[in-house]
């Protein structure tokens, strides 16, 4: 899919490096033909490491490079020289990345902290050189350990969005338009349902160079939790948002009802979603005159703060940002 910058899961193949061989070298000098064993140890094979990176927001960088091989360890050599450790492969991933075993689907790790390192696959240990095996009965062992093999495996790397604000609304509610006016993101916008097929993220610049992240997900419809439309697949992405911004267009036939349906879908998907802070924006408010606005204002759902906005006419957007910011902090 070409739309959006969003890749939410990807399968990767990784292999760690094999440990280097221990050396079975016997020391020889001009005047000492029977020198002792002096074979060094093999170096460790490289690890495959995942590193949390707070500057990343997607798995897009993994889309075109899915194979990761760490270097093998170097072999040991004479003079008890240890082989070089194989270089590790470090894969940067956004915070909120989950790593599953590709076969069993079991969650192996979750990366939540910046610069957090997780060894996905450990490199094989280097073999020990022959001098370790010298004993009273065998002064010149010609034996050294081979290195231990690396490991290879497939993983499924998955991303839960860590956006602060998740947009929730029916298709066509104006979610992508809002994202496009509040952030530098350029999501596709059109006058039909399910324009957005994949989540889009944008950074909302706020006063004094502060910012927060907003996620636009595909529209949710009645029955979404049972698999209708596309929203169900993406509902899990709003599980981590600290705030849900509901968007209902001003020309909705029944704002209250629409709000109830949205809440109900979230609840069916995961009841904990209802514990999140939420805010309701009546979008496309440029279509309302004062009279209609007053009329609508009297019939708004209870128990949620509501404001009127228009992305097109740039109305209420600063108030919206202020409100979002104060909720987030």
Ligand X SMILES: Nc1nc2c(ncn2[C@@H]2O[C@H](COP(=O)(O)OP(=O)(O)OP(=O)(O)O)[C@@H](O)[C@H]2O)c(=O)[nH]1
Give the binding site for Mg ion (CB under 5 A). Answer: 176, 195-196
| Nearer of residues 45 and 316 to ligand X, judged by Cβ | 316
Query: Is residue 194 near ligand X by the rule CB under 6 A?
Result: yes
| Residue (72 or 198) nearer to ligand X, CB | 198
Query: DSSP string covering 20-52, please?
Result: PPPP--B--BTTBTT--B-PPPPPPPPPEEEEE
Residues 6+ apart with CB under 8 A from 107: 98, 99, 100
Q: Closer CB to ligand X, residue 23 or residue 177?
A: 177
Binding of ligand X by 318 (CB under 6 A): no
- Per CB under 6 A, contacts with ligand X among 204-233 are 218-219
Q: For residues 35 and 139, give the distance between their C-alpha atoms in angstroms, rounded to a whole number.
A: 10
Q: Binding of ligand X at residue 189 (CB under 6 A)?
A: yes
DSSP-derived pairing of the beta strands 277-283 and 305-308: parallel
174 interacts with ligand X by CB under 6 A: yes
Determine which residue in the list 169, 202, 229, 316 makes contact with ligand X, applying CB under 6 A. 169
The residue written with tokens 């805010």 in the block is: 279
Q: Do 196 and 176 meet the contact criterion of CB atoms below 8 Å apart?
A: yes
Which residues are CB-neighbours of 155 under 8 A, at least 6 positions away? 11, 12, 14, 99, 100, 101, 102, 108, 120
Stretch that binds ligand X, among 64-72, 106-114, 156-164, 193-201 (CB under 6 A): 193-201
Beta strand pairing call for 211-216 and 152-159: unpaired
Q: Rounded to the nearest whole angstrom, what is the least distance from the CB of residue 267 to ligand X in the complex?
A: 20
Helix, strand, coil share of the chain (percent; to 5):
20, 25, 50
Find the binder of ligand X among 77, 82, 176, 241 (CB under 6 A): 176
Confirm or reject binding of residue 284 to ligand X (CB under 6 A): yes
**Residue in the shown chain whose Cβ atom is closest to ligand X:** 219
Is there binding between residue 202 and ligand X (CB under 6 A)?
Answer: no
Residues that bind ligand X (CB under 6 A): 169, 171-177, 189-191, 193-196, 218-219, 283-284, 286-287, 310-312
């Amino acid at each position: 899919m070409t739309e959006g910058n969003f890749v939410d899961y990807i399968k990767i193949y990784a292999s760690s490096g094999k440990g280097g061989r221990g050396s079975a070298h016997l020391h020889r000098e001009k005047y000492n033909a029977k020198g002792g064993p002096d074979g060094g140890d093999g170096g460790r094979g490289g690890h495959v490491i995942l590193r949390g990176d707070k500057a990343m927001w997607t798995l897009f960088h993994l889309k075109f490079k899915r194979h990761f091989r760490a270097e093998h360890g170097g072999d040991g050599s004479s003079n008890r020289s240890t082989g070089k450790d194989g270089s590790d492969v470090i894969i940067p991933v956004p915070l909120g990345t989950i790593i599953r075993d590709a076969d069993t689907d079991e969650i192996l790790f979750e990366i939540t902290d910046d610069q957090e390192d997780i060894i996905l696959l450990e490199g094989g240990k280097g073999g020990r050189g022959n001098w370790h095996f010298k004993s009273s009965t065998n002064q010149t062992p010609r034996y050294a350990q081979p290195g231990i093999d690396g490991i290879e495996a497939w993983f499924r790397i998955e991303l839960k969005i860590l956006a602060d604000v998740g947009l929730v609304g029916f298709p066509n509610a104006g979610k992508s338009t809002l994202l496009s006016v509040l952030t530098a993101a350029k999501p596709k916008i059109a006058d039909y349902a399910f324009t957005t097929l994949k989540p889009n993220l944008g950074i909302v610049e706020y006063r004094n160079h502060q910012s927060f992240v907003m996620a636009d997900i595909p529209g949710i419809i009645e029955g979404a939790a049972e698999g209708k439309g596309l929203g169900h697949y993406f509902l899990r992405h709003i599980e981590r948002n600290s705030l849900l911004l509901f968007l209902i267009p001003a020309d909705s036939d029944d704002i209250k009802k629409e709000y109830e349906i949205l809440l109900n879908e979230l609840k069916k998907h995961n009841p904990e979603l209802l514990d999140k802070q939420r805010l309701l924006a009546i979008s496309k408010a440029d279509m309302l005159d004062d009279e209609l606005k007053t009329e609508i204002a009297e019939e708004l759902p209870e128990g949620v703060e509501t404001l009127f906005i228009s992305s097109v006419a740039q109305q209420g957007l600063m108030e919206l940002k202020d409100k979002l910011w104060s909720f987030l902090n």
